[in-house]
Structure 1
Amino acid sequence: MGAHDVAVLGVGMHPWGKWGRNFVEYGVAAARDALRDAGIDWSQVQFVSGADTMRNGYPGYVSGATFAQALGWNGARVASSYAACASGVTAIEAARTRILAGLCDVALVVGADTTPKGFLAPNAGDRPTDPDWLRFRLIGATNPTYFALAARRRMDLYGATSTDFAKVKVKNATNGLANPNARYKKAVTVEDILASPVVADPLHLLEICATSDGGAALVLTSMEYAKKLGKAPVRVAAVSTVTPSYPNTIIDLPDIATDSSAVVAPPDFRFKASIAHAAYEEAGVGPEDLSLAEVYDLSTALELDWYEDIGICGAGDAEKLLNDGATHIGGRIPVNPSGGLACFGEAVPAQAIAQVCEITWQLRGQATGRQVEGATTGITANQGLFGHGSSVLLTT
């Protein structure tokens, strides 16, 4: 057992979909499931760590207090975290840190979202200092646009094909058939995918994740508390929230449009690759120790990038790993046995927590119909907007 281990005593989810209700309902349902799973009463929770949503008004900005109020004020301390897609892991880290500091024994982590139809776009209004707003307004780069740019990069660098990308969706759609919390439970073929409309070349409609409603929650405790209850829980061995490490001067150069002497080569560094590796370093394990992974497949092509970023294959080898069946259930290193975003869509503050729920069920042997046999170690990985790392490494 590592010095930084905390116990995952309970996990819970509200199924993903387009339910059109208040996000708080989803979070409360997931929280109650997690408390029931842990065998813990709400009155025993000492700290509530909420993952924020920006789409649901003030209650979404103070989600820790929002969920605490909805469950019934019990005097617990609260915190609320926002880190876009990484919000759930930032909330997990707040709870883990408090437990490791000896300031509490029982923490509840909750994230939930209600999303609009269509793409996730910045809030209304002029915000010229917001790079996300600028990306949408000045160059028209909606999320599917930059997913497509990343896909085109794989094609140019490594010879990836549209069929390779489609096979990722086929795999994940098959996995999601057995997941009761998944929104989409329909098997698809490569032909189905390539016949669906092109959204942003080369990506088709069935290769880009939807926006969803949903919720997820965890009960985290100290290892000592879990032992007192006679539990042998799944353990959080590491959490990574790393940021990029390249110098800002590469972005903020003077007179870059007219002064050619200011041009410099970009750094030979991939931010996404650092996310999981920081977790490996903290836990003292490596990618070779993994039983499975849950990664943020915003598009089919981005899942292939993650194979390389989490270190389960070398640069340019992701397509071979996929085509050899290594990332399928039953393969050497199953990826997204939950079905991933392909089957869930994005409920942003809940997503990183949901990844931890899936790994926990897998390590417990409770992922009926999609179980990775003998799973002992799993990792999650996603990336929040504006340089937020998000990775949790869990072990039995």
Structure 2
Amino acid sequence: MSRDVAVLGAGMHPWGKWGRSFIEYGTIAARTALEDAGVDWRDVQSIVGADTVRGGYPGYVAGATFAKALGWQGARVTSVYAACASGAQAINTARTQILSGLADVVLVVGADAAPKGFFRPAGGDRQDDPDWLRFRVLGATNPAYFGLYARRRMAVHGDTLEDFAQVKVKNAASGALNPYARYRKTVTADEVAASAVVADPLRLLDICATSDGAAALVLSSMDFARRHGQPDPVRIRAVSTVTPQFPQTVLDLPDIATDSAAAVEPPGRTFRASIAHAAYEEAGIGPEELSLAEVYDLSTALELQWYEDLGLCAAGEGAKLLREGATSPGGRVPVNSSGGLASFGEAVPAQAIAQVCELAWQLRGTAGERQVAGARAGITANQGLFGHGSAVVAVR
């Protein structure tokens, strides 16, 4: 049985700091995706919204919020939150509805209006919240966390500041060609090196910004796509949202010595690699068959880690792959042809959807100046809080 669903339409609202409501951004992205698909809003049977925790109550019920903004027409509504994986979870929810026969055509929307500066815990003081504790007790803001990742790569694999800078140079060059990107300016390695240190060793240009933005997809069954005049659409073949596998660390179990949950063997791969492995297994392809990848480059160093976790190279060889030009435009497997978060900034509920928009345009061959020649298969990847991560495989 095929698990493919068709990507009929993709749409976005440009990223930036516009000072308006996430509802406005999401509605524009949704209408753009519907127009791209050639589907009337009244024919959509379900809408799945990726929630934002920064939009008040409307942000917590994003599905209904966008349905109302587009005009109540009786569609099923669902709202999903999964930190940075919210958009992919929304795609997976839509895919499940389609494959189960609950809906033939589903609209997926994610949008955010980000605060100035880096993200901080939402909802006030919560002393039992690990995220709150990370910020308030350890002082480990997101940039500090990214800096620790970078230092580890330098210590373990010998990565250099120049390697990190070249990731930014590569992504900025692609972002300069993307009309939806917030930052559309090429940069040099010297400019990265000259930018302010934020969390040693990372500079300002090594770290993604926070942004307003939105993305939307129109997904359908393959039968609907054929009836709609699209016999060979881009297809989502796999969505991985697996959890990590680690030994039980709760110390107050009644009998931790004999409890089977405490005896889980550590995995042979990292959490991020496990996400990718599950996606490859479901899609029936391997990393050697990829034409491109879109990854969550919260920092330049983290992009190098994704190369290894996606199986594009062996552990410790991410910087080598970059230096060889394999992940650059025209390389063996371009990474972040959209420009990545380096060019967009982070709009949490929208970004995983935006990654799939880029795959859709690339696999259609409609990505313009940043087109990856002969693109046939792509993967997205991101990691969020508390074991939330995702990878989506799309093919043509």
Q: State the TM-score, normalized to the length of structure 1.
A: 0.95
Corresponding position of 2:234: 234
Question: How far has the Cα of 1:79 moved from its partner?
Answer: 0.4
The offset of 1:253, in angstroms, is 3.4
Note if 1:253 corresponds to 2:251.
yes
Deviation at 1:254, TM superposition (A): 5.9
1:203–1:17 CA distance, 2 compared to 1 (3 A): same
Aligned residues: 386
Moved over 2 A (4+): 252-255, 264-269
Residues 14-36 of structure 1 show CA distances to partners (whole Å, capped at 9, x for unaligned) of 00000010000000000000000
> Corresponding residue for 2:2?
3
CA offsets per residue over residues 348-380 of structure 1, 9 Å max, x none? 000000000001000001111101000000000
What residue in structure 2 maps to residue 64 of structure 1? 63
CA deviation after TM superposition for structure 1 residue 129, in Å:
1.3
SS at structure 2 position matched to 1:7:
strand
Q: Which amino acid aligns with 2:306?
A: W
- Aligned residue for 1:182, secondary structure, equals coil
Q: Could you tell me which amino acid in structure 2 is paired with residue 152 of structure 1?
A: R
Rounded to whole Å, the distance in 2 between the matches of 1:135 and 1:248 is 20
Q: Distance in 2 between matches of 1:277 and 1:175?
A: 27
Q: Which residue of 2 aligns with 1:349?
A: 349
Cα 1:43/1:173, change in 2 over 3 Å: same
Shift of 1:265: 11
Structural mapping, 1:187-226, within 5 Å? 187-226=186-225
Question: Among the aligned pairs, what percent are the same residue?
Answer: 70
Retained in 1: the 8 A contact 2:52–2:81?
A: yes
Partners of 2:239 and 2:267 lie apart in 1 by 25
Q: Which residue of 1 aligns with 2:109?
A: 110
- Give the SS at the match of 2:137: helix
Q: Secondary structure at the match of 1:84?
A: coil
1:311 matched to 2:311? The reply is yes
Distance apart, 1:269 and its partner CA: 3.8
CA distance in 2, matches of 1:123, 1:336: 29
Counterpart in 1 of 2:85?
86
Counterpart residue number, 1:388: 388
Secondary structure of the corresponding residue to residue 280 of structure 1? helix
**Cα deviation, residue 124, structure 1:** 4.5
Q: C-alpha displacement at 1:115, in angstroms?
A: 0.5
* Secondary structure in 2 matching 1:238: strand
Shift of residue 125 of structure 1? 2.2
CA distance in 2, matches of 1:338, 1:155: 27
Kindly indicate whether the alpha-carbon contact (under 8 Å) linking 2:273 and 2:310 is maintained by their aligned counterparts in 1: yes
Output the amino acid matched with 2:367.
A
SS across alignment from 1:20: coil
In the TM superposition, residue 85 of structure 1 has moved relative to its aligned partner by 0.6
Instruction: Show CA shifts across 1:152-174 (max 9, x none).
Output: 11001100000000000000000
Please state if 1:182 is matched with 2:181.
yes
Residue 256 of structure 2 corresponds to: none
SS in 1 for 2:12: strand
Q: Distance in 1 between matches of 2:24 and 2:355?
A: 20
Kindly indicate whether residue 368 of structure 2 is the aligned counterpart of residue 375 of structure 1: no
Once the two structures are TM-superposed, the CA of residue 248 in structure 1 deviates from its matched residue by 2.3
Pairwise mapping of residues 96-107 of structure 1 onto structure 2 (< 5 A)? 96-107=95-106
* Structure 2 unaligned spans of 5+: 254-261
Query: Is residue 2:276 matched to residue 1:273?
Result: no
* Letter of the structure 2 residue corresponding to residue 341 of structure 1: L
8 A contact 2:238–2:282 mirrored in 1:
yes
The one-letter code of the counterpart of 2:251 is L
Q: What SS class does the counterpart of residue 288 from structure 2 fall into?
A: helix
- 1:259 aligned residue: none
Structure 2 letter corresponding to 1:213: D
CA distance in 2, matches of 1:197, 1:265: 42
Give the TM-score taking structure 2 as reference length.
Answer: 0.95
**1:150, 1:305 → 2: CA distance?**
9
